[in-house]
Structure 1
Amino acid sequence: MSRTVAEGLDSPKAEAVPRRRIVAWALWDWGSASFNAVVTTFVFTVYLTSTDGFGGEAFVSAQLGWALAVAGVLVALTAPITGQRSDGSGRRRFWLAVNSAVVVVCIALMYLVEPRPELLWLGLGLLAVGTVFYEFAAVNYNAMLVQVSTPRNIGRISGFGWAMGYFGGIVLLLILYYGFIHPDVGLFGVTSENGQAVRVSMLLAAGWFAIFALPALLSVPEVARTRGVGRARVGILTSYRTLFRDIAALWRSDRNTVWFLIASAVFRDGLTGVFTFGGVLAAGTFGFSAGEVIIFAVAANVVAGISTVVVGALDDRLGPKTVIVAALIGLVVSGTLVFVLSPGGQTVFWIFGLLLCLFVGPAQSASRSFLARVIPPGKEGEVFGLYATTGRAATFIAPTLWALFITIFGSQVFGILGIVLVLLVGLGLLIPVRAVGRASAAALTPKD
């Protein structure tokens, strides 16, 4: 069996970990495509915003933005202490399982969302709750990155995980397209009447996530307990006091990391906006049918997955900051061209929408590997909790600018300019951040 060295990145006695463990870890990303690609991007949110039964397109799009904003606030308030407590208690894998299970249940319950105005709020509520617990799960999952990588290959493994997510999305979207959404009568006699094709797709998506989350839960070992908050059963207020103390220590010793957290919060919200509103834009502005949106989604995931794998190697060679800067520049240019050339119709969206996808994956993966390089051993969950918190603290920016530009100019296509503006601001904040190694994060290392 081929093996690679992995554990805490600074461990002088890193264990040899089978490659199958890396694959098992990445399969969680493969499975989570059911939430990222199917629920939030190309199927369920498009179903809500483009189906007449829920209300007008502009109204539902605005409510979608508010639901995601509320979810973002909840994550911002709670993600860092959930990561902190899972680090200390040695229950990172346990909480990954719990949070993933809640997401699976939310996806399955979306089957109940028939196209009626009163059920819009059930759909948005399930989407918001699923988003909160997905982010909690991602905190623990991202923290596991240092258990399956080394300083030499962390970029490639991070990229591999992101790419597995994209490829998982491709396979699942194709199954849903040919099994339920494209045929007049799909598998098991499912039709589009009363939203049944999409609703049944949610059941399959839930099962998909449940099945492919299992390998990581069974193969990646639990982390050892660390001293501090997690060892003793302490209250939430004590956890927050510890959190603020550690943020202050990080600010005193490594402001560069703090600035990266701020910059990444902004540009990651822009990246999320590209995918969250991409399917909505394709259907509303460029006239894609539900089936055409899924075909575009498959192509988008192919492009994003391949680019993420290829650029993962450049991450290790050139450094993650270089990758992120180049990707953000590409996103700003591509997004601007989608707007300027939008009268060209679907061909324009196919070309420049796919170009956007070329840059999204590498930026996401390199952002994760940048942070993983500077986290002290034993604090991965806590700092990735901060990563989620800063990201969610800014999560209202892209939806707000999307809605604001549409409201001001009266056309959905202007929403893309709001997303481009977020990416541009994130790029400006990132440029002064120094590209550094992992050693600078010693301030958060647990003391005896």
Structure 2
Amino acid sequence: MMDSKTLMPGVRPKEVWAWSAFDFANSGYTTVVLTAVFNAYFVAVVAGDAPWATFAWTLIIAASNAASLILMPVIGAIADATARKKVWLFAATLCAVAGTFGLAFCGPGTILLAAVMVILSNIGYNVGETLNSAFLPEIARPEAVGKVSGWGWSFGYCGGLVTLGASLLLVTQADRLGLSTDSAIAGTMVITATVFALAAIPIFVCLKERAIPRQKGTSSLGSLCLESFREVVRTAKCLSQYRDFGWLALCGFLYQSGISVVITLSAVYAAEVMGFTTTDTLLLVFLVNITAALGAFGFGYLQDRIGHKRALGTTLVVWVLMIACAAFATTRPLFWLAANLAGLAMGSSQSAGRAMVALLSPESRSAEFFSFWNMSLWVAAIVGPLAYGSVTWITGNDHRLAILVTGVFFLLSIAALVPINLERGRRAAGR
């Protein structure tokens, strides 16, 4: 699977597995904290199921992504200038692990503590995911970035399964262990933080950083930050030269707005609309992660065969079908179908987007362009959940209408995908 036709010269297979292991590490965080457990726990217990609870959760998520939006372009540009992505990745990992562990101390009424820990952990996750993605063009040949990206996403979902499986075991055995519901939820946070920390170790030990520093001599942090802001402005100004990357950023913003809703509010929707318990939701998300892993792995090969644009378009159509099923589901089988459609499209759409960014980014500015890409995704992570939360607040918790509004983001993303020309974009990146 890993040969000279897939990997860049000098890249060893164990480096790719170490790089993929970071996806394994952070997937447990999104799966347990943002998707399956803590979001619903926050709404029902921490915020006491108040009418504003869902909106409050979306505000916290929006705040964490807004902070990431401000920090990441600076960090990305500094990482490029100094060729020290691994140093910043280590700091981001510490923030994510510490914040996740801190959630174990949250309970009824601890809204402020929960908000601080979610913001800290999600900033760490966002920054780490961006820097990890920036290694992709260093390890994979351009014609194989889809395949290698798919390996990372599929292995990442395996990490989600490990963390989620351990959490599910703890929750289902809580009575036998003499644990209250609050203690069981706290235990899942400890499990998630531990898996994250252990699985992140290989990337710091095995992966070699091949970027060449662009900053000569010794510069102060202040001068690097100033240069970083200039590079962000330069990236925005030069989008007319990289118009296909610009269209991709818009497309990513639109579909990630919808995906962010699914990630951060699916457990809330399942509980409020379908009457799911914590155990029901954990089991559902566990099986969906299997679907997502298969989807990411299969689509990784498919997108290199049929083309990244066509593969991404296919996943966006699947997202539209998923929204329709979820919005009109009155029975559990139809909702399970919707959830598995989401799993099938989740990893594939994000993997395809990451591969397309790798193709359309100038080689010497990969972290900078990935930062800009993730900046659009973080704006989406603010807009999407807030749109959903606002609809539920205004309509008195009409979650079905809120999920239908989410579907509009996916329809618009298909329209934004149409103008992209990958060959033209690759030529522009080469210049």
**TM value normalised by structure 2:** 0.94
**Cα drift, residue 226 of structure 1:** 2.8
**Cα drift, residue 235 of structure 1:** 4.4
Aligned to 2:139: 148
Query: What amino acid maps onto 1:255 in structure 2?
Result: R
Aligned to 1:36: 30
Separation in 2, partners of 1:129, 1:251? 31
Aligned to 1:133: 124
Question: Could you list the per-position Cα deviations for residues 38-83 of structure 1 after superposition, in whole angstroms to 9, with x for gaps in the alignment?
Answer: 11110111211232x5322542211111111112222222211211
Aligned to 1:389: 375
Aligned to 2:271: 283
Aligned to 2:385: 399
Separation in 1, partners of 2:360, 2:2? 28
- 1:18 paired with 2:4, answer no
Query: What amino acid maps onto 2:304 in structure 1?
Result: D
Of 229, 236, 256, the match for 1:240: 229
Aligned to 2:336: 350
Alpha-carbon distance change, 144 to 415 in structure 1, aligned in 2, over 3 angstroms? same
SS of corresponding position for 2:200: helix
**Cα drift, residue 157 of structure 1:** 0.8
SS of corresponding position for 2:364: coil
Separation in 2, partners of 1:442, 1:134? 31
The answer to whether the 8 A contact 2:174-2:184 is kept is no
Aligned to 1:81: 74
Please list every run of 5 or more consecutive structure 1 residues that lacks an aligned counterpart in the other structure: 8-13, 444-448
**Cα drift, residue 347 of structure 1:** 1.9
Aligned to 1:10: none
1:55-70 correspondence runs (5 A): 55-70=48-63
SS of corresponding position for 1:216: helix
Separation in 2, partners of 1:322, 1:121? 44
Query: What amino acid maps onto 2:132 in structure 1?
Result: Y
Separation in 1, partners of 2:258, 2:216? 34
- After superposition, the CA RMSD in angstroms is 2.0
The answer to whether the 8 A contact 1:336-1:417 is kept is yes
Query: What amino acid maps onto 2:399 in structure 1?
Result: Q
The answer to whether the 8 A contact 2:72-2:375 is kept is yes
The answer to whether the 8 A contact 2:68-2:123 is kept is yes
Alpha-carbon distance change, 37 to 230 in structure 1, aligned in 2, over 3 angstroms? farther
Query: What amino acid maps onto 1:144 in structure 2?
Result: F
Aligned to 1:27: 21
Between stretches 16-25 and 286-295, larger displacement belongs to 16-25
Query: What amino acid maps onto 2:419 in structure 1?
Result: P
Aligned to 2:205: 218
Of 230, 239, 247, the match for 1:251: 239
The answer to whether the 8 A contact 2:325-2:337 is kept is no
**Cα drift, residue 255 of structure 1:** 1.5
Aligned to 1:300: 288
Aligned to 1:121: 112
The answer to whether the 8 A contact 1:92-1:223 is kept is no
Separation in 1, partners of 2:217, 2:313? 37
**TM value normalised by structure 1:** 0.90
Question: Could you list the per-position Cα deviations for residues 80-123 of structure 1 after superposition, in whole angstroms to 9, with x for gaps in the alignment?
Answer: 12111101111111111110111000011111102x22x02211
Between stretches 263-272 and 208-217, larger displacement belongs to 263-272
Separation in 1, partners of 2:82, 2:217? 4
Aligned to 2:189: 202
The answer to whether the 8 A contact 1:303-1:358 is kept is yes
Please list every run of 5 or more consecutive structure 2 residues that lacks an aligned counterpart in the other structure: none
Count of aligned positions: 427
**Cα drift, residue 205 of structure 1:** 0.9
Aligned to 1:11: none
Alpha-carbon distance change, 424 to 46 in structure 1, aligned in 2, over 3 angstroms? same
**Cα drift, residue 190 of structure 1:** 5.2
Alpha-carbon distance change, 264 to 231 in structure 1, aligned in 2, over 3 angstroms? farther
**Cα drift, residue 238 of structure 1:** 3.1
Aligned to 1:333: 321
Separation in 1, partners of 2:348, 2:274? 26
Structure 1 outlier segments of 4+, above 6 Å: none
Separation in 1, partners of 2:264, 2:217? 35
The answer to whether the 8 A contact 2:78-2:225 is kept is no
- 1:111 paired with 2:99, answer no
Between stretches 427-436 and 331-340, larger displacement belongs to 427-436
Separation in 1, partners of 2:229, 2:429? 20
